[in-house]
Amino acid sequence: MCSSDLVSDKLPPKILVVEYDDQLSSTLCNTIERYWFNVIRARSAETALRLAYVNRPNAAIISSTLQDISAIEMAVRLKKVEGLQQIPIIFLINQDESVQNYNITNNDNFNKILFRPFTPNELMVTVKSLLRRSSPVFQSRFIKYKNITMDLSTYKVYHGQKQVHFGPTEFKMLQLFITNPNNTYSRRQIVDYVWGVEKEISFRTVDVHINRIRKMMDLNDGNQVIRTIRAAGYSLD
């Protein structure tokens, strides 16, 4: 993490990029990642909303080239996701599009428009400006639940003072639950977060990794760490 304006005990901002065109999406994502921000990439509204629910981005970039719904409707639906009511949004539009449809004023701290073509510097100046104005809460590098601590920077897990060696899949799965300790997640939502919405992963695979987490933690106190919620999915115990 090389950006000097990021606090060392916080993770970099998460930027949701909603762009239908693969080439344009890759260009946007590569630009953002060069500034050491984390990118959440989606080609459709459905995918974007599923990813937003489990990842809680700090800002969103929405292209007017979406195929399933308009960029404006995408923004409306995104702001209905719990915790994202004030998410800053950058709309990417063509020169011949009317800005009146977006109802954005010069004093709007949470929404901006960028006309194509724009430079990488213009994009990142706008992203950083919106993040400063909206004062987002960045995720802490360390997350805890009871006597379990996860270091999201070094990918280490501790049970009390003892380090427990997790594989990348189990680490990301446990991270989902500890980041949102009051939530119950379906197997579909777990797949979306761990493997991505484009992947066809058997729900049985989720069960196998959950059982691995339980065995690795082995608390010996009747606590399973992650418990099964009948007909719903899993939650922290």
Question: Strands across the sheet with 162-164, in order?
Answer: 142-145, 148-151, 156-159, 162-164
Contact 82, 104 (CB under 8 A): no
d(CA 21, CA 65) in angstroms, rounded, equals 8
pLDDT at 104 (0 to 100):
67
Euclidean distance between CA atoms 221 and 232, whole angstroms: 25
Type of residue found at 43: R
In the three-class reduction of DSSP (H, G, I as helix; E, B as strand; rest coil), residue 154 is classed as coil
Query: Closest Cα partner for 64 from 37, 10, 24, 35?
Result: 24
Domains located in the chain, CATH noted = 14-134 (3.40.50.2300), 142-236 (1.10.10.10)
Tokens 């949004």 label which residue? 89
Q: What is the pLDDT of residue 223?
A: 66
Contact at 8 Å (CB) between 86 and 110? Answer: yes
Distance of CA 124 to the CA centre of its chain: 18
β-bridge mates for residue 112, sequence order: 90
Q: Give the integer Cα–Cα distance in Å for 159 and 217.
A: 7
Other Cβ atoms within 10 Å of 96 Cβ, number = 6
Query: What are φ and ψ of residue 213, in 5° steps?
Result: -60, -45
| pLDDT tens for each residue of 95-149 | 988 888 787 665 566 788 999 999 999 999 999 998 888 766 667 788 899 889 9
pLDDT per residue rounded down to tens, the chain (237 residues): 333 333 347 778 899 999 999 999 999 999 999 988 989 999 999 889 988 988 889 999 999 989 889 999 999 999 999 889 889 999 999 998 888 878 766 556 678 899 999 999 999 999 999 888 876 666 778 889 988 999 988 889 998 888 999 999 999 999 999 988 889 999 999 998 888 776 788 999 999 999 999 988 875 555 678 999 999 999 998
Judged by DSSP in three states, 76 sits in: helix
> Residue 161: what are its φ and ψ, rounded to 5°?
-95, -5
* Whether the Cβ atoms of residue 141 and residue 175 lie closer than 8 Å to each other: no
pLDDT of residue 122: 95
Please, are residues 211 and 72 in contact by the beta-carbon 8 Å criterion? Answer: no
* pLDDT for the residue 109: 62
102: three-class secondary structure by DSSP: helix
DSSP state of 141: S
